[in-house]
Amino acid sequence: MIKYHLAALALKGLSSCGSARNLYRKLGNRLGGRKRTVGEIPSYYIERAERNVAWSLKYGPLRAGDLVLEIGTGWVHWEALTLRLFFDFEAVLYDVWDNRQLSALKSFVRQLEGRFGQNGFLEGCAFDRARSLIRKIEGAATFEELYRILGFRYVLDPTGLMECLPRNAFRLAISAGVMEHIEAATAPQFVSNVASLLGSGGLGFHSIAIMDHLAFYDRSASPKQYLTYSESQWKFWCENKVQYINRIQRSDWLRMFANSGFSVLEERVSRTDVSGLRIHPRYQGLSREDIECTNLIVAVRKA
């Protein structure tokens, strides 16, 4: 657990002031962008693309005139970008800070193209159309040119409140690895705000990484290591502002979706073995399914 605690200490140091947080993001984007440009695309990006296309076909294909909202669009706009290869729609790409990496985006989409048709991947989709659009994406010299090609609009809003976005306007709101970083106190309002942006019958596809992100730095730590800490212990030793996680569990997310007027169309979970973990009393009332859940993926529909 030494690496776990060292990582926690380092991240708290990088959270200490605005200049330290800016340095963290600049260095992270520079080093991470280089790695994403020359490296192999992570398998979970491929899985997300396949799942999002399949769910769009299953629960209501996107059509010209539909408006899609990608929340926390990150480095490569992956959710909206990969859907756009197969469906006509316009999109708003919403984020709280600018992490965009055009070279990484092009590398990832080229590697996605290389998977077309392999072992049934995206079978039945219009690959010729997607390839034609990928050629245009590769030729874009700037993000602004890319957005003109795709019909996208980028919105940078440090408040994270989404008050600048039109209500009842979107057909689909989609996110991946975002909601676990929303402040715990404001998470219910955040989910409610997402609901207010969707039109009647609007869809939400959300992947929420419920695992302890500090465990990425230490293989000896459990993916649910944070369940061993009280609230005060976690805030003092581990919580930070550059890689903040809210420790909200599966059943709480499902409750927030229900309270905001969503019905769950489909739920997928990943689990881990926590048999050797000493769960803090604060979490001992959780169900075994909550305690073991490391990733929650849901398709929801607004009433």
Please give the Cα distance from 259 to 5 (Å, whole number): 37
Phi, psi angles (nearest 5°) of residue 9: -65, -45
Please give the Cα distance from 237 to 65 (Å, whole number): 48
Could you read off the pLDDT of 112-137 as tens digits, one per residue?
999 999 999 999 999 999 999 999 99
Could you read off the pLDDT of 227-239 as tens digits, one per residue?
999 999 999 999 9
Could you read off the pLDDT of 53-98 as tens digits, one per residue?
999 999 989 999 999 999 999 999 999 999 999 999 999 999 999 9
**Residues 214/225, Cβ–Cβ less than 8 Å:** yes
Tokens standing for residue 250 = 């599966």
pLDDT at 198 over 90: yes
pLDDT at 154 over 90: yes
Q: Which amino acid is at 236?
A: F
DSSP one-letter code for 281: G
Q: CB within 8 A of 193, min separation 6: which ones?
A: 161, 162
Q: Which residues of 129-167 are buried (b: 16+ CB within 10 A; e: fewer)?
A: ebeebbeebeebeebeebbeebebebeeeeebebeebee
Please give the Cα distance from 66 to 19 (Å, whole number): 40
Structural domain boundaries, residue 27: 2-302
pLDDT at 251 over 90: yes
pLDDT of residue 28: 86
Pairing state of beta strands 170-176 and 67-71?
parallel
Query: What is the residue-wise DSSP string for 21-40?
Result: HHHHHHHHHHHHHHHHHHSP
How many domains does the chain contain in total? 1
Q: Which amino acid is at 103?
A: S
Could you read off the pLDDT of 8-64 as tens digits, one per residue?
999 999 999 999 999 999 888 888 889 999 999 999 999 999 999 999 999 989 999
Helix (H/G/I), strand (E/B), else coil: 139: helix
CA dihedral 227, 273, 45, 68 (to 10 degrees): -50
**Residues 265/194, Cβ–Cβ less than 8 Å:** no
Work out the burial of residue 208: count CB atoms within 10 Å of its CB; fewer than 13 is exposed, 13-18 middle, 19 or more buried: buried
Q: Give the position of tokens 């993001």.
A: 25
pLDDT at 178 over 90: yes
Q: Which CATH number do you get for residue 126?
A: 3.40.50.150
